[in-house]
Structure 1
């Protein structure tokens, strides 16, 4: 007769291994796309691309923190989720400042670069979303990274739309509006993650 406790432990170990493999893959994708989008955003003078690059960096750091939390107790997972929420808040505020500066200084961004890099980022995030799909209900941390990836899809589509509008209008405003929109999306997601993590910390205080 098999030991049900041993079987459960084996199942948990297998789940943690799958989570770690997935997190390492999406971490690599997001870290690489951060470099690509940051460089392209600086060259193109695009607030939307810079915002999306910071989104990639925030996700890469968040995946790294989540990878560290896999296999640890509920308290560690709640702390990791809280750290991610604060990190997302910081990036959101940075993007708000950058988009506001672009609105004041003016200057039309390079819409071709925006569109091409935005499409590449969309494909990269679609891959990440597919990898994370099976883990979206595993626990608080895996759900938070899945939500990050889902939000990234919306941000990528917005960058592509902004590129088309910049081309049509020859104006900086579509780029600025999308930059501000991504910042608001950042802050909204950060609030949700922070609230969930704070609730988990209250339910499982440190001994």
Structure 2
């Protein structure tokens, strides 16, 4: 009977860990702009700017959670009580970001409905200046996080919040320009609603991806049936069972399987071939049990 692990090691760190510096810069920018926008929003009664400031608040909280999760996972490796370390903290942070965004979007929509009948007069110039500062900061943060969003769900959560705020800042700019040039009071609440509606579908996607990981579904884009067929086709393998493929955190796919082999098969050869096959499916960490037919009978007796 043989056991083996894939080529990678969990202690190498997740995809998020490579972007700590950029997340830190984005956090500082978001915090500074949030304070400016919040002060101006409260003094001018601008719902659009308040909406953008609220999104900036979720940026600050989201980026803070993302950084905390990465550092926590990095410093708390696998132990005998936490055999996978704390990498799932990153996924929980991403899910927390999604919940925050849902809450902010709902608040803006409710507030906008209350203002439809009597929209307040909003001075355009202070809103315009604050929105410009927010736009510049969001563009910088967007560029910093764009590459990391392709690798890490945690970074992607922060990236989506920055993207929503970038477009929100553009919307606030439009609202401020309309207010300055036409005096139309409905521009501000309408833009506020538009910002809230824009972020909802993207937030849903983020939450769904985080929940897929937490429920240990197969990674997106990984065909588990194909993997099973390919493992079964390896020389000497007569059966594949107890195959599980899941995501520990972004960039860290994990698998386990039992491979039943013929009596005259060399377990080490099957193990190495299976490891190489799984690595070709972006699964670098795998626990594989290579067993003869008589040992495989015990697996059939298990209730789950």
Scaled to the shorter chain, the TM-score interval is 0.7 to 0.9
- Alignment TM-score, normalising by the size of structure 2: 0.60
Q: Which residue of 2 aligns with 1:78?
A: 91
User: How far did 1:169 drift?
Assistant: 2.7
**Higher strand proportion (structure 1 or 2):** 2
User: How far did 1:124 drift?
Assistant: 0.7
**Structure-2 change in CA distance of 1:76 and 1:180 (3 Å):** same
Larger RCO (alpha carbons 8 Å, 6+ apart): 1
Q: Distance in 2 between matches of 1:119 and 1:106?
A: 23
Q: Which residue of 2 aligns with 1:65?
A: 65
User: How far did 1:205 drift?
Assistant: 9.5
Q: Distance in 1 between matches of 2:186 and 2:32?
A: 28
Q: Which residue of 2 aligns with 1:97?
A: 110
**Higher helix proportion (structure 1 or 2):** 1
Q: Which residue of 1 aligns with 2:221?
A: none
1:108 alignment partner, SS class: coil
Q: Which residue of 1 aligns with 2:36?
A: 36
Q: Residue 193 of structure 1: which of 196, 202, 206 is its match?
A: 206
Conserved? CA contact 2:105–2:200, under 8 Å: yes
Question: Which structure: larger Rg?
Answer: 2
User: How far did 1:183 drift?
Assistant: 1.1
For 1:12-63, what per-residue CA distance to the aligned partner results, in whole angstroms no more than 9, with x for missing partners?
48972x4222212111111111111011011111100000000100111001
For 1:90-128, what per-residue CA distance to the aligned partner results, in whole angstroms no more than 9, with x for missing partners?
111111122222223322201111111111110011111
Q: Distance in 1 between matches of 2:120 and 2:89?
A: 45
**Structure-2 change in CA distance of 1:191 and 1:5 (3 Å):** closer
Q: Residue 161 of structure 1: which of 174, 189, 212 is its match?
A: 174
Equivalent residues, number: 200
**Structure-2 change in CA distance of 1:198 and 1:14 (3 Å):** closer
Q: Point out where structure 1 has 5 or more consecutive residues left out of the alignment.
A: none
Q: Which residue of 2 aligns with 1:120?
A: 133
- Alignment TM-score, normalising by the size of structure 1: 0.87
Q: CA RMSD in A?
A: 2.5
User: How far did 1:158 drift?
Assistant: 0.9
Q: Which residue of 2 aligns with 1:149?
A: 162
User: How far did 1:74 drift?
Assistant: 4.7
Q: Point out where structure 2 has 5 or more consecutive residues left out of the alignment.
A: 1-6, 74-85, 217-245, 249-304
